[in-house]
């Protein structure tokens, strides 16, 4: 069956909608396992900070505050030193993600993942043997470098290797492994919580996911695009044959990849300068807005502090950890739902449905807490209402798991042309870490002062981000990476930047300034076939044969 090869507006790159081979499945699963280390850290931190031996050794003031009968339920864990333990990782991750842009271009996507895994392993070892707060923070900083490198390289790797038709499903694998890491960490916390040395085991066992993903990364090849960029043509040819199938003729695709790489090299401009050009304005806005909004759903804060949160609203220590495990399992199951539907219903539909679902649940949690604990937060919540909070939180986690969770990694990794793809992903990850740092450093203080209003704060952001997606995010399902520029050219708002900047649109198209209510839902939901027809009508390029 013939499959089209598209020549992109920014520079020609062959994008072949190849069949799903066993090799591409295994390669993407191994690469996606890099999410294990991020997920494990998210899950382990909140559980460890509820363990009395850990608090007694490093944060005794928290235990003294908990012993005060008059302390309201929202303020028990309000400690800036305690939140520094959690949030220090994210400031390190921010710095690492910016460096990772140059690193992935120089040594490749795969090697960057390996380097990140080794750095994370060293941090886990230091945390497991920590004797003071300084060692804890040092270990967290190394963990931050590790996840900064892997979070930058992995989504790009997956988008470059996966067939365009199934890119969304393969890319959600990264979020799925993050979910596995969270659940595994919560289970380990539950098993070690009652032991005086349990916190050491919980923190030290982070070496296991680090070792798994590092060894796995060593067993796979780099992406063809990355190898071509580094002038390793023969290795790129071999990598293409592995993921496309041995019976597939990869020479046409290889030639297109090389042509695109040559165009990028001829530009000879610093990517961090190029990305600020007018024609890349929509890409830049999305690379900042999507990760920023993802964190303002409140999910990572809730994941960090789930045991603390559930303990605050009436669960005992063991029950709080079990509740956190349940929350993680629900999130994991919902990611599988996203894997099955993201390439069928599209990114926009899942973003908006998930945003509405999270908004409703957070308003519900705020209402329950306001009624049961009072404005001051000093009333004790009944077990029945505590379970209702858990149910609402699970529905909330499901909404995140099939929308803003996986899609926030997918969108930035698929919208950029090859010459600025690592840079765009670096900015996206850096924004993610910067926002997470600020929120994790302030969440417990916010919970103490805003009380149930904290959930209304996040609900308002969920409403805003849903409106943003409805107005400004075009549909990208099924679009080859090298033809992605066409979705911006057809968008009611972004066309004015892309057309003027690239000179690829007609004068009539430049003058058209449609508003969102003038566009039908169908025009926003571009299929790969419609993009191909539009592109070939304008360029007259011919189709090459690929493999299917």
pLDDT at 114: 95
Instruction: Report which of residues 194 and 150 the model is more confident about.
Output: 150
Mean per-residue pLDDT, 138-155? 93
Q: What is the mean pLDDT of residues 75-99?
A: 79
Percentage of the chain lying above the pLDDT 70 cut = 79
pLDDT tops 70 at residue 70: no
Query: Token pair 């230091």 is at which residue?
Result: 126
Cβ(42)–Cβ(202) below 8 Å? no
- Decide which of 546 and 93 is more confident: 93
Mean pLDDT of 190-213: 91
User: How many whole angstroms separate alpha carbon 128 and alpha carbon 407?
Assistant: 33
Q: What pLDDT digit, counting tens, does each position of 416-446 carry?
A: 888 888 899 999 999 999 998 888 777 777 8
User: In the structure, what pLDDT confidence band is assigned to residue 2 with cuts at 50, 70 and 90?
Assistant: very low
pLDDT of residue 159: 87
Query: Each residue of 371-400: pLDDT tens digit?
Result: 887 666 666 777 788 788 888 888 999 999
Highest mean pLDDT among 353-357, 454-458, 480-484, 495-499: 353-357
Task: Work out the average pLDDT over 53-80.
Answer: 71
- pLDDT of 216 above 70: yes
CA–CA distance, 236 with 245 (Å, rounded to integer) = 14
Specify the range with the lowest mean pLDDT, choosing from 31-35, 458-462, 509-513: 509-513
Task: Say if residues 174 and 413 touch (Cβ distance below 8 Å).
Answer: no
Region 187-200: what's the mean pLDDT?
89
Q: Per-residue pLDDT for 318 more than 80?
A: no
Q: Which of 352, 356, 294, 358 is nearest to 475 (CA)?
A: 352
Distance CA 231, CA 46 (A): 45
Amino acid 300: pLDDT: 64
Query: Please, are residues 413 and 171 in contact by the beta-carbon 8 Å criterion?
Result: yes
Helix, coil or strand: residue 163: coil
Quickly state the pLDDT bin for 10 (edges 50, 70, 90). Answer: very low
Q: What is the pLDDT of residue 301?
A: 64
Q: What is the pLDDT of residue 527?
A: 46
> Are the CB atoms for 52 and 63 separated by under 8 Å?
yes
Task: Enumerate residues 6+ apart whose C-beta is below 8 A from 294.
Answer: 404, 405, 408, 432
Helices and strands (DSSP H and E) totals, the chain: 28, 0
Using alpha carbons, select from 363, 339, 360 the residue that is nearest to residue 350: 339
**Nearest to residue 217, comparing CAs of 149, 169, 167?**
149
What pLDDT, on a 0 to 100 scale, did the predictor assign at position 526? 46
Mean of pLDDT over the chain: 80
pTM, two decimal places = 0.78
The pLDDT tens digits of the residues spanning 148-161 come to 999 999 999 998 88
Residue 102: both structure tokens together: 């140059």
Q: What pLDDT is attached to residue 16? A: 52
Q: Tell me the mean pLDDT in the region 209-233.
A: 90
Q: Retrieve residue 308's tokens.
A: 């603390």
Q: Which of 44, 55, 65, 54 is nearest to 448 (CA)?
A: 65
Residue-wise pLDDT for 483-527, tens only, equals 888 899 999 999 989 875 555 555 555 444 444 433 444 444 444
Query: Is 369 a residue whose pLDDT tops 50?
Result: yes
Query: How far apart, in whole angstroms, are the C-alpha atoms of residue 445 and residue 169?
Result: 38
pLDDT of residue 334: 93
pLDDT confidence band for 211 (50 / 70 / 90):
very high
| Residue with the larger pLDDT of the pair 465 and 548 | 465
Alpha-carbon distance 415 to 484, whole Å? 6
Residue 45 φ/ψ, nearest 5 degrees: -60, -50
- Contact by Cβ (8 Å): 9, 538: no
Provide the CB-side half-sphere exposure for 30 (13 A, CA): 20
Nearest of 338, 458, 446 to residue 392 by alpha carbon: 458
Q: How far apart are CA 485 and CA 505, in angstroms?
A: 11
More confident residue, 64 or 31: 31
267-277 burial, b for 16+ CB within 10 Å, e for fewer? eeeebeebbee
């Amino acid at each position: 069956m013939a499959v089209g090869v598209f020549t992109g507006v920014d520079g020609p790159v062959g994008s072949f909608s190849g069949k799903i081979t066993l090799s591409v499945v295994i390669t993407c699963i191994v690469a996606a396992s890099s999410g294990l280390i991020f997920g494990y850290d998210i899950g382990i931190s909140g559980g460890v900070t509820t363990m009395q031996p850990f608090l007694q050794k490093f944060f005794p003031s928290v235990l003294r505050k908990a012993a005060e009968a008059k302390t309201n339920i929202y303020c028990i864990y309000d400690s800036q030193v305690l939140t520094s333990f959690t949030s220090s990782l994210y400031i390190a991750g921010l710095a690492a993600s910016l460096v990772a842009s140059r690193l992935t271009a120089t040594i490749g996507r795969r090697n960057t993942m390996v380097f990140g895994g080794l750095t994370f392993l060293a941090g886990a070892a230091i945390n497991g043997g920590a004797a003071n707060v300084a060692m804890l923070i040092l270990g967290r900083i190394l963990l931050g470098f590790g996840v900064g490198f892997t979070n930058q390289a992995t989504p790009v790797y997956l988008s470059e290797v996966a067939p365009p038709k199934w890119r969304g499903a393969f890319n959600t694998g990264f979020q799925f492994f993050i979910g596995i890491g969270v659940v595994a960490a919560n289970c380990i916390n539950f098993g070690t919580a009652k032991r005086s040395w349990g916190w050491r085991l919980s923190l030290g066992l982070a070496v296991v996911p680090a070792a798994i993903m590092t060894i796995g990364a060593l067993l796979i090849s780099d992406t063809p695009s990355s190898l071509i960029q580094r002038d390793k043509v023969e290795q790129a040819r071999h990598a293409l044959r592995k993921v496309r199938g041995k019976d597939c003729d990869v020479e046409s695709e290889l030639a297109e990849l090389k042509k695109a790489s040559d165009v990028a090299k001829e530009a000879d401009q610093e990517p961090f300068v190029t990305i600020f050009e007018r024609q890349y304005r929509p890409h830049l806005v999305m690379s900042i807005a999507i990760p920023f909004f993802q964190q303002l759903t409140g999910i990572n804060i809730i994941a960090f502090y789930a045991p603390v949160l559930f303990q605050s609203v009436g669960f005992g220590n063991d029950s709080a950890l079990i509740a956190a495990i349940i929350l993680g399992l629900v999130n994991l199951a919902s990611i599988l739902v996203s894997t099955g539907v993201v390439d069928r219903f599209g990114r926009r539909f899942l973003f908006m449905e998930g945003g509405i679902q999270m908004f409703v649940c957070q308003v519900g949690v705020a209402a329950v807490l306001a009624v049961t604990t009072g404005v001051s937060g000093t009333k004790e919540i009944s077990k029945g209402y505590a379970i209702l909070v858990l149910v609402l939180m699970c529905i909330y986690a499901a909404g995140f798991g099939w929308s803003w969770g996986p899609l926030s990694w997918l969108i930035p990794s698929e919208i950029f042309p090859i010459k600025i793809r690592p840079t765009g992903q670096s900015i996206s990850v850096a924004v993610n870490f910067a926002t997470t740092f600020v929120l994790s450093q302030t969440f417990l203080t916010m919970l103490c002062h805003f009380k149930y209003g904290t959930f209304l704060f996040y609900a308002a952001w969920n409403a805003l981000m849903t409106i943003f997606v409805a107005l400004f995010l075009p549909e990208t399902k099924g679009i080859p990476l090298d033809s992605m520029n066409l979705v911006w050219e057809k968008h009611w708002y972004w066309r004015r930047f892309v057309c003027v900047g690239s000179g690829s649109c007609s004068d009539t198209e430049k003058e058209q300034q449609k508003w969102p209510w003038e566009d039908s839902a169908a025009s926003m939901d571009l299929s790969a076939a419609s993009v191909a027809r539009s592109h070939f009508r304008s360029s007259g390029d011919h189709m090459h044969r690929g493999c299917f």
